[in-house]
């Protein structure tokens, strides 16, 4: 959390908060809450600065939820009498993590529309932002964690006692939450996720606070798009069913809808934020299931909570758990008070490799926002993003089979953030090269390990990873040779006399638009490996076919 965001948090504390409550009038407080949070804006902040900080909090929140859902999914052990239900939970968690990634990218697009750099930071545990529903924690799935996730995505009026059909379920969910949070001093401020987006929408919708001149339509060409990220996902239909108790677990598995939208106007950005909030909370959807409307995150967690309750009741075990013996908040860090340090040397090296590839993923992702869709190397960077996603999944699977080093627990992916990502002025390709070289060094140590837990499968994966990294290094050397100028990143530059666009009008081609990143792209794509050339050309051609029209105000980009 940035220092500016902390100033905002302190101001919010002075103006009050919304504690966990079953107050039937909770829904009527939403507007009052938004007004109170607007009043919490520090006096020395402009509305633009306040909005940017709130978007940073939103990006951190979506990033945190995505990582929490992934870790919870990795901890599940699909076996036993309830294996079908557990598998459904795992699939649902992974799908919601993908949808949170869509939310994160949409927030980055709004930052880009405002002329800001992408914000992919996230604090390592434990931390607590005032808008975050609870302290960020990587933990095995449990009845408590499911209840917390449900509360985070909950519509503000769901605990209203007027809905008598769900009174028992509400009491059970509220009891779990109250037992955990109670009224203890120092509890986190338990806002729902939707509260933050309601505040952002309210500020963004006010042209006196955020005038039209603040929007950079040229950013449209650089924003993340669904055709890059939404591959493989379709909007599923949800059958009409007013009785949640009779819903089959397959419905929970089926619902996945990745929302990633580009926009060049205020109205389009607000509409996208509303869709994100709806996917999380689905306001009023708990009253009547509508055919064709996918389940919200809240509804999925609610169904998961009910199934968890039923299994505990059937087995007579209130402490029943479907997870491996994995730790809460695994870490590679050393120090007093750290309970879940990965002490096993071999597992520690793999955890370091996981953190390194996680940094590579975020660095490639940040780089993608510096490349316009007219630039062919953007396809190469996007392919690397997806490649690192698969690497993280593989390494996480390896870690869950290795010992933590204490108390018989298994290790887990730590998801530790790097000290730096890709600040403005950094040469992206040079940073990619440094990280790849670090990965090769760590892979060499792992392949040479004599640990009893090392396996042939591990070494085979490392050899395959080295081969792919070698191809990537050759590509990067070609890029650096072809484009010796330093990369300064996309800088907002308004073209004098450029016509302003009305709300909803599509971007147009303008003179003076930025040229492609490298005039010697053919030389860049000449790699020794024919197989590598095919992969890169497919990625680059896919990106070029989706090239967006260049907008009226275009930013200049050079890359090394």
pLDDT digits (tens, 9 = 90+) for 312-357: 999 888 889 999 999 999 999 887 667 789 999 999 999 999 999 9
Q: Which residues pair with 491 in a beta bridge?
A: 556
Residue 230: per-residue pLDDT: 61
pLDDT of residue 129: 56
266-281 and 193-204 helices, crossing angle to 10°: 170
SS (H, E, C) 429-475: HHHHHHHHHHHHHHHHHHHCCCCCCCCHHHHHHHHHHHHHHHHHHHH
Confidence class for position 421, pLDDT limits 50, 70, 90: confident
Task: Quote the pTM value.
Answer: 0.77
How many Cα atoms occupy the beta-carbon half-sphere of 232 within 13 Å? Answer: 5
What CA dihedral angle connects 539, 369, 264 and 218, to 10 degrees? Answer: -100
How far is 446 from 344, CA to CA, in rounded Å? 13
Predicted pLDDT at 345: 95
Maximum pairwise Cα distance, the chain: 73
Each domain of the chain, given as residue ranges in start order, spans 1-315, 334-560
User: At residue 407, does pLDDT exceed 80?
Assistant: no
The string of DSSP codes covering 184-244 is: -TTPPP---HHHHHHHHHHHHT-TTTS-GGG--GGGGGGS--HHHH-TT---------S-G
Each residue's pLDDT tens digit, 134-161: 778 899 999 889 988 888 777 766 666 5
Report percent pLDDT > 90 for the chain: 42
- Cα(259)–Cα(117) distance, rounded to whole angstroms? 21
Measured distance CA(341)–CA(351) in Å, rounded: 10
Q: Which of 192, 45, 49, 205 is nearest to 130 (CA)?
A: 192
457 closest CA partner among 465, 390, 425: 465
| Residues 334-560, CATH architecture | Up-down Bundle (1.20)
> What is the rounded CA–CA span in Å between residue 540 and residue 557?
18
Beta bridge partners, 341, equal 331
State the Cα–Cα distance between residues 27 and 30, nearest whole angstrom. Answer: 6
For residue 70, pLDDT beyond 90: yes
pLDDT band at 25 (very low <50, low <70, confident <90, very high): very low
pLDDT at site 133: 66
What is the pLDDT of the chain when averaged over all its residues?
74
pLDDT at 188: 36
How far is it, in rounded angstroms, from Cα 141 to Cα 69? 9
Residue partners of 280: CB distance under 8 A and separation at least 6 = 103, 153, 193, 194, 296, 297, 298
Beta bridge partners of 76: 323
The DSSP symbol for 293 reads P
Q: Tokens at residue 413, please?
A: 């992916």
Q: CA end-to-end span of the chain, whole Å?
A: 31
What is the C-alpha separation between 14 and 19, in angstroms, rounded? 14
Query: Mind listing the pLDDT tens digit for each residue in 252-265?
Result: 334 457 888 899 99
């949808």: which residue's tokens? Answer: 99
* Residue 186: count of CB within 10 angstroms of its CB: 5
- Nearest CA among 193, 315, 293, 295 for reference residue 244: 295
From the list 319, 410, 454, the residue with the least C-alpha distance to 71 is 410
CA distances from 25 to 69, 176, 204, 230, 281 (A): 31, 21, 27, 39, 18
Q: What is the DSSP track for 128-174?
A: --TTSSS--------HHHHHHHHHHT--TTTT-TT-GGGHHHHHHHH
Among 509, 430, 415, 522, smallest CA distance to 74 is for 415
169/171 Cα distance (integer angstroms): 5
Give the lowest-confidence range in 135-144, 213-222, 369-378, 509-518: 509-518
The encoded tokens of residue 435 equal 């990280």
């Amino acid at each position: 959390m940035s220092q500016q965001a902390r100033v905002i948090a302190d101001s919010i504390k002075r103006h009050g908060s919304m504690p966990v409550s079953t107050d039937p009038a909770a829904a009527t407080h939403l507007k009052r809450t938004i007004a109170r949070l607007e009043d919490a804006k520090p006096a020395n902040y402009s509305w633009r600065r306040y909005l940017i900080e709130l978007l940073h909090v939103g990006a951190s929140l979506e990033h945190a939820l995505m990582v929490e859902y992934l870790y919870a999914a990795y901890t599940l052990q699909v076996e036993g009498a309830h294996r079908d239900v557990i598998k459904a939970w795992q699939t649902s968690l992974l799908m919601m993590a993908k949808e949170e990634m869509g939310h994160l990218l949409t927030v980055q697009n709004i930052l880009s529309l405002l002329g800001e750099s992408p914000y992919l930071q996230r604090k390592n545990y434990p931390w607590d932002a005032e808008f975050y529903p609870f302290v960020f924690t990587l933990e095995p799935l449990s009845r408590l964690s499911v209840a917390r996730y449900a509360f985070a995505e909950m519509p503000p009026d769901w605990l209203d006692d007027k809905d008598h059909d769900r009174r028992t379920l509400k009491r059970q969910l509220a009891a779990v939450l109250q037992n955990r949070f109670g009224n203890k001093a120092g509890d986190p401020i338990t806002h729902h996720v939707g509260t933050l987006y309601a505040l952002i929408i309210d500020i963004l919708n006010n042209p006196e606070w955020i005038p039209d001149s603040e929007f950079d339509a040229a950013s449209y060409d650089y924003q993340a798009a669904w055709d890059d990220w939404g591959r493989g996902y379709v909007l599923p239909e949800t059958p009409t069913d007013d009785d949640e108790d009779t819903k089959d677990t397959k419905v929970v598995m089926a619902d996945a809808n990745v929302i990633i939208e580009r926009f060049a106007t205020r109205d389009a950005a607000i509409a996208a934020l509303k869709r994100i909030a709806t996917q999380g909370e689905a306001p009023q959807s708990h009253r009547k299931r509508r055919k064709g409307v996918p389940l919200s995150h809240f509804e999925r967690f609610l169904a998961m909570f009910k199934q968890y309750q039923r299994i505990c009741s059937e087995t007579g075990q209130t402490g029943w758990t479907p997870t491996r013996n994995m730790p809460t908040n695994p870490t590679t860090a050393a120090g007093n008070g750290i309970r879940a340090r990965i002490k096993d040397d071999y597992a520690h090296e793999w955890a370091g490799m996981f953190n390194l590839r996680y940094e590579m993923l975020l660095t490639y992702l940040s780089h993608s926002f510096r490349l316009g869709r007219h630039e062919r190397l953007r396809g190469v960077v996007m392919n690397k993003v997806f490649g690192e996603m698969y690497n993280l999944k593989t390494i996480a699977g390896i870690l869950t089979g290795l010992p933590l080093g204490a108390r018989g627990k298994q290790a887990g992916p730590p998801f530790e953030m790097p000290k730096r990502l890709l600040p403005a002025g950094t040469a992206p390709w040079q940073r990619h090269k440094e990280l790849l070289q670090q990965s090769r060094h760590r892979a060499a140590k792992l392949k040479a390990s004599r640990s009893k837990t090392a396996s042939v499968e591990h070494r085979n994966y490392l050899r395959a990873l080295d081969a792919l990294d070698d191809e990537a290094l050759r590509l990067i050397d070609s890029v650096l040779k072809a484009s010796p100028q330093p990369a300064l990143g996309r800088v907002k530059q308004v073209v004098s006399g450029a016509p302003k666009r009305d709300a909803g009008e599509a971007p147009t081609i303008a003179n003076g638009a930025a040229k492609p990143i490298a005039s010697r792209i053919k030389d860049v794509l000449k790699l020794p490996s024919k197989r590598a050339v095919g992969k890169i050309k497919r990625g680059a051609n896919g990106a070029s076919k989706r090239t967006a029209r260049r907008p009226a105000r275009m930013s200049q980009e050079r890359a090394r």
